[in-house]
A and B are shown apart, each in its own frame.
Chain A
Amino acid sequence: METKINIQRLCEVYEIERSFVISICEADLITLYSEGNQDFITVEELPFLERMLRLHQDLGINEEGLHTIHHLLERVTDMKEEIRQLRNRLRLYEDF
């Protein structure tokens, strides 16, 4: 199975500018790998890039905004996990 995807190809299929992908990489949101004169990202990071792309294209969020949203979503994810654990813990005190 393919583990990395050429940036050039991504830009073609998603109809995006290379500069968009590069800016996401420069913000350390995804990692860019270079081999020869080709740049790649890993397949694992593709869903994240797609999400950034949707936010950019659908909602008109600029690159700085994407960075902020990403960090806020990370916090949301952490808080959700904490809530899940607290809910499970709360069951200890229920029905006794």
Chain B
Amino acid sequence: MEFIDYYKVLGLDKSATASDIKKAYRKLARKYHPDVNPDDKDAEVKFKQLNEAHAVLSDPEKRKKYDQYGKDWEHAEEFEKAKARQQRSYSSGSGPFTYSGSGAGAEDFSEFFESMFGGGGFGGGRQRQTRFRGQDYNADLELHLRDAFSTHKRTLTVNGKNIRITVPAGIEDGQTIKINGHGGPGVNGGPAGDLYLTFRIHNTTPFKREGANLYKEVEIPLTKAVLGGEITTDTFDGKVKLSVKPGTGNGTRVKLKGKGFPIYKKSGQFGDLFITYQVHIPEQLTPEQEKLFKELEKTGL
């Protein structure tokens, strides 16, 4: 556990007045507030640090203790014992914030803070307050690309509760869906928060995906490229016969309409599959093949 320099967090030095602290805090809070930095983890961390620094430095008792012990904060326990007989007079919710945002864990204070000032008993912190609507939850769901090919049900455990959800076919990597009412419970008769589920899709298939279109490279023999003919190749969910035109060049692309990925929220509709031919140039030839190539060469090919 490391010492946290709360003055540094607020960009101040130890001589800062209460007004300086308030001003610095407000200025930085405007910059890092989670509501103006949606989905920004760094800003969320910074905002927590600001809240913690402000909770300590804006409270004369806590600031005194912090200043007194500084880097020797581990001895603060003795200070705490000495103070134990005194009646706690910290006012609850003294800060200007009543942040109850959607970012999970925005209320957490560091281990350093907990160690020096104790846990939830302190009121001056930024304890998240649900006043009506429940907290929103965020979760990631990892899927393989093959799992995103068809609509299916899945059971997730979020905050100890099992939730059965439908994963829609065609969902994309990084896409977030909202599941109404599966966040934290509301208070005072308020509605529950929502669950925001972000899909992380891994692809270990030979297919590349962009939206509903799939892309794949298929190697064909030199003779097939020159003379043409039929080949069989894999689509995402089956096999297909392709007719290779005579004189097909390396990098030639063909489109297989409707053989791509399902289009999100458009049941029964699919994107396209694009096949790029890679003509295989043999590195080693048998004596017979070499002879034939030499004969071809004589023809001026």
Chain A interface residues (CB < 8 Å from chain B): 1-2, 5, 10, 13-14, 43, 46-47, 50-51, 54-55, 57-60, 69, 73, 76-77, 80, 84-85, 87-89, 91-92, 96
Contacts and interface: CB of A to CB of B under 8 A. Distances in A.
A85 B211 CA distance: 8
A54 B29 contact: no
Nearest to B191: A43
B210 A92 contact: yes
Given A47-B194, A77-B38, A80-B39, A54 B175 contact: no
Q: Top 7 A-B pairs ranked by shortest CB distance?
A: A13-B132, A84-B174, A58-B97, A92-B208, A89-B210, A51-B35, A59-B30
Contacts of A43: 191
B133 A58 contact: no
Nearest to B201: A88
Contact of B211 (A60, A77, A88): A88
Q: Is the interface of A mostly helix, strand, loop or mixed?
A: helix
Given A47-B133, A58-B99, A59-B26, 17 more contacts: A1-B191, A14-B132, A46-B132, A46-B133, A46-B191, A51-B35, A51-B101, A54-B33, A54-B98, A55-B33, A57-B96, A73-B36, A84-B172, A85-B211, A89-B210, A92-B208, A92-B215
A84 B200 CA distance: 12
Contact of B98 (A1, A58, A76, A96): A58
- Interface residue tally on B, bucketed by range: 35 or more
25 contacts: A2-B191, A13-B132, A46-B191, A47-B102, A47-B133, A47-B136, A47-B193, A50-B100, A54-B99, A55-B36, A57-B98, A58-B29, A58-B96, A58-B97, A58-B98, A59-B30, A60-B26, A73-B36, A84-B174, A88-B173, A88-B209, A88-B210, A91-B210, A92-B210, A92-B215
A64 to B, nearest CB: 16
A59 B132 contact: no
Contacts, number: 74
B213 to A, nearest CB: 9
A88 B217 contact: no
B29 A87 contact: no
Of B26, B188, B190, B209, most A-chain CB atoms within 10 Å: B190
Contacts of A1: 181, 191
Contact of B175 (A13, A14, A84): A84
A88 B215 contact: no
Interface string B159-173: 000000000000011
Interface string B8-48: 00000000000000000010011001011011000000000
Contacts of A88: 172-174, 209-211
Given A88-B172, A96-B217, A69 B132 contact: no
Contacts of A46: 132-133, 191
Nearest to A52: B35
B56 to A, nearest CB: 19
Contacts of A76: 38
Contacts of A77: 38
Given A13-B188, A73-B36, A87 B132 contact: no
A88 to B, nearest CB: 6
B131 interface: yes
Interface string B201-212: 000000011110
